[in-house]
Structure 1
């Protein structure tokens, strides 16, 4: 089913126990997030039990603080999602299809994210999963319903370093994504929704090599943003034979 403006406008909207204005879009078998401009006046949106594969395509919604997306098919998070919903505090992604640790990296942009639930995804079984999330998302205080402890933050720093000087382990993890590089949905513009630049295998190898060779997290983020927007810096394409990863 499509997420139409009629469906949004006719769905239940109520004040929840946290005194948030919540929109109930549960269980409609929605396949993609779209037309969310019609849902701007809500603090919380419940999209549990649908068929959504990509978390993205939100217009600017500074009011949105809580997002429920459990029991979907989410395997990809839009790289610049945090610029659209910058004040997100609670995100529930239980029982989706996120696979690699680097698939969670877009969550690092949420500077106010406090409660995060990723349990029930394949990524939650990865080695160092909890430490990775704690390192990439320092604002998170509760991960999978367990409070983040100080010694966990210290261990995460030992494993992955700092944003300016990530360890070799951190660089390696950042170069592994389950679905490669795709153009994110365009903030609620239905005409452009779902259009992706298709990269050749050669381009993908060069992009992965460029990310792994980056000297800081800032440089990595800039490269990932460029790739997500369908742009490849000339020096990446002209850098000789692509490096295998």
Structure 2
């Protein structure tokens, strides 16, 4: 066992064994008895599953030990060793051993703090009235082979608690996602409202431009109202201003004589010809 202990504690080799709180040697060696644990007086949890133990001799006094696992060994009796070595023991795992009688369990009555005992797959577990008798012997016991006095499996309750925790976490996740979705929806609605506002502003601008164009058209084409919808007609072209009539001058006598002499001269020339 000493070699197995060294193999699992390389990182703490420079530390005092008395400071080690937990030691697990499951299936790491084969030994019929316990050895090499004397320096580990501060242990609170010790696991020696499946190492071939046939006796508990060699177990040192471990005054702080709370949990001891001895499953899948070849133990048949000798549990009285535990009473003096582990006075504060609360959890004892003996599943898969060869304990056959209730008498072999009587030394455990000395424990005042033993809360959890596992004797699963021991011959004693097939004894008539086994559960009632063991709970009657061990007054502080709360769990035997994973179940309480009423046979309710405590692991399932723990699983139910885990399921409830998972359900609560799922509800919290759903609530968070709902808030995110609402926030996203509000963002989309806000974006739509912004688009609508932009469209209204653009329509108003287009309306203002159309009104300006209509005002310009009104200046060129006056509108007339009748029973029919408003129609645009071209404005009448302005009439041209008549040219001024030249002023008639009075022809005096002198001018008349001139015209007459010229006319007479022309007539005489015609006669000659």
Q: TM-score range by the shorter chain?
A: 0.5 to 0.7
> Are 1:72 and 1:95, in contact at CA under 8 Å, matched by a contact in 2?
yes
> Are 2:116 and 2:144, in contact at CA under 8 Å, matched by a contact in 1?
yes
Q: What is the TM-score when the length of structure 1 is the normalising length?
A: 0.53
Shift of 1:91: 0.6
> Are 1:66 and 1:89, in contact at CA under 8 Å, matched by a contact in 2?
yes
1:11 to 8, 11, 19: 8
Shift of 1:68: 0.8
Structure 1 position 90 matched with structure 2 position 86: no
CA distance in 1, matches of 2:90, 2:98: 22
CA distance in 2, matches of 1:39, 1:129: 36
Per the alignment, residue 24 of structure 1 pairs with 24
Structure 1 position 125 matched with structure 2 position 122: no
Structure 1 position 146 matched with structure 2 position 147: yes
The 5 Å alignment of 1:96-245 reads 96-149=97-150
> Are 1:56 and 1:78, in contact at CA under 8 Å, matched by a contact in 2?
no
CA distance in 2, matches of 1:59, 1:111: 20
> Are 2:132 and 2:149, in contact at CA under 8 Å, matched by a contact in 1?
no
> Are 1:41 and 1:63, in contact at CA under 8 Å, matched by a contact in 2?
yes
- Judging changes above 3 Å, is the alpha-carbon distance between structure 1 residues 24 and 80 closer, same or farther for their aligned structure 2 residues? closer
Per the alignment, residue 181 of structure 1 pairs with none
CA distance in 1, matches of 2:10, 2:137: 33
Per the alignment, residue 39 of structure 1 pairs with 40
> Are 2:91 and 2:116, in contact at CA under 8 Å, matched by a contact in 1?
yes
Shift of 1:35: 3.0
What per-residue deviation string (whole Å, max 9, x for no partner) do you get for residues 52-101 of structure 1? 01234322211111011111111112424212100011111111000111
RMSD: 2.3
- Judging changes above 3 Å, is the alpha-carbon distance between structure 1 residues 127 and 63 closer, same or farther for their aligned structure 2 residues? same
| Greater than 4 Å deviation, 4+ residue runs | none
Q: What is the TM-score when the length of structure 2 is the normalising length?
A: 0.48
Ranges in structure 1 where 5+ consecutive residues have no aligned partner: 15-19, 151-245
Per the alignment, residue 74 of structure 1 pairs with 75
> Are 1:64 and 1:88, in contact at CA under 8 Å, matched by a contact in 2?
yes
CA distance in 1, matches of 2:118, 2:30: 21
> Are 1:13 and 1:23, in contact at CA under 8 Å, matched by a contact in 2?
no
CA distance in 2, matches of 1:35, 1:46: 14
> Are 1:65 and 1:89, in contact at CA under 8 Å, matched by a contact in 2?
yes
Shift of 1:134: 0.9
Shift of 1:108: 1.1
> Are 1:58 and 1:85, in contact at CA under 8 Å, matched by a contact in 2?
no
Specify which structure has the bigger relative contact order, considering alpha-carbon pairs within 8 angstroms and separated by 6 or more residues.
1
Shift of 1:120: 0.7
CA distance in 1, matches of 2:21, 2:10: 7
CA distance in 2, matches of 1:35, 1:106: 25
